[in-house]
C-alpha cells in the first residue's frame, strides 16, 4: 500500500507543481515536444509553469492531441514550437484553433541552418523515404541547438522581463 501511495505521489507531483507555479503568477509556457521542453526548462528553471505536449517517447507526427492539451494551451502565455517542417507538428494548427490560443507563438527554429535528411539510411530499401527533404530535427547540429536556445531565451525575456537576468545566466 505504501508503494502505491509513493507511486501515485510521484506521478501527480509534476502536474501539481506546474499548477502551483501557475497559481503563483508564473508565466505559463507550453512546448510542443520534449526537446524544446528540456531547453525551456534549462533556461527558465522554476520561473515558469512548463507543460510539454509530446513527451520523450512520443511521435510528433502521429500524435493525437487531447482535450487536456487544448485546456493547457488555452491558458498558455507562450507556445514554443519547432515550426521548421509542418509535417513535424501536423496537429498543432488544429489544436491552436480548438484552444483559441491567444498567447505568444515562439518558433524555436528561426535562423537555423536547415539540414537535409540523409540519402542513405539503415532501412530495408536502403533509402529513407523523403531523403533530401528538410530534416525537422535541426537541434542535432550543435550550432542549431544554440540558435534554438537563444530564441527561447529571447522569448522568455520578452515574456517575463522580471527574470531576464536569470534567463540570461541560465541560457548563456
CATH number of the domain encompassing residue 153? 3.40.50.1980
Q: Which cell is 135 given?
A: 530534416
What integer pLDDT is reported at residue 9 of this predicted model?
Answer: 41
pTM: 0.77
Q: Quick check: is 160 in a domain?
A: yes
Beta bridge partners of 134: 116
Q: Quick check: is 11 in a domain?
A: no
Q: Quick check: is 108 in a domain?
A: yes
Strands 134-135 and 115-116, how do they pair? antiparallel
Q: What is the pLDDT of residues 25-46, one digit of tens each?
A: 899 999 999 999 999 999 999 9
What integer pLDDT is reported at residue 114 of this predicted model?
Answer: 80
Query: What is the average pLDDT value for the chain, to the nearest integer?
Result: 82
Q: What is the pLDDT of residues 106-120, one digit of tens each?
A: 999 999 888 776 644
Buried/exposed code over 129-168 (b: 16+ C-beta within 10 A; e: otherwise): eeeeebbbbbbeeeebbebbbbbbbebbbebbeebeebbe
Share of the chain above pLDDT 90, in %: 58
Q: What is the pLDDT of residues 119-172, one digit of tens each?
A: 444 444 444 455 557 667 778 788 889 999 999 999 999 999 999 999 999 988
Mean pLDDT of 43-70: 94
What integer pLDDT is reported at residue 8 of this predicted model?
Answer: 39
**Cβ-contact 65, 95 below 8 angstroms:** yes
Q: Quick check: is 122 in a domain?
A: yes
Q: Is the sign of the CA dihedral 142, 147, 150, 156 positive or negative? A: negative
Mean pLDDT of 48-64: 93
Q: Is 170 exposed, middle or buried (0-12, 13-18, 19+ CB in 10 A)?
A: middle
Domain tally, the chain: 1
What's the domain range around 87? 26-171
Q: Quick check: is 61 in a domain?
A: yes
Q: Which cell is 47 given?
A: 520561473
Q: Quick check: is 3 in a domain?
A: no
Q: Quick check: is 111 in a domain?
A: yes
Q: Which cell is 158 given?
A: 520578452
Instruction: Match 539510411 to its residue by C-alpha cell.
Output: 121
Q: Quick check: is 20 in a domain?
A: no
Amino acid at each position: 500500500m505504501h508503494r502505491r501511495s509513493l507511486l501515485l505521489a510521484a506521478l501527480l507531483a509534476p502536474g501539481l507543481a506546474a499548477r502551483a507555479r501557475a497559481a503563483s503568477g508564473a508565466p505559463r509556457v507550453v512546448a510542443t515536444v520534449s526537446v524544446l521542453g528540456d531547453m525551456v526548462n534549462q533556461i527558465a528553471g522554476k520561473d515558469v509553469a512548463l507543460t510539454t505536449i509530446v513527451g520523450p517517447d512520443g511521435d510528433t507526427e502521429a500524435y493525437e492531441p487531447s482535450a487536456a492539451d487544448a485546456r493547457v494551451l488555452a491558458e498558455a502565455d507562450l507556445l514554443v514550437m519547432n515550426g521548421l517542417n509542418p509535417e513535424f507538428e501536423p496537429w498543432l494548427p488544429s489544436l491552436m484553433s480548438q484552444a483559441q490560443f491567444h498567447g505568444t507563438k515562439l518558433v524555436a527554429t528561426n535562423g537555423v541552418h536547415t539540414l537535409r535528411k540523409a540519402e542513405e539510411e539503415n532501412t530495408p530499401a536502403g533509402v529513407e523515404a523523403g531523403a533530401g527533404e528538410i530534416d525537422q530535427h535541426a537541434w542535432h547540429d550543435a550550432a542549431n541547438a544554440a540558435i534554438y536556445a537563444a530564441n527561447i531565451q529571447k522569448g522568455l525575456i520578452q515574456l517575463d522581463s522580471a527574470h531576464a537576468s536569470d534567463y540570461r545566466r541560465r541560457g548563456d
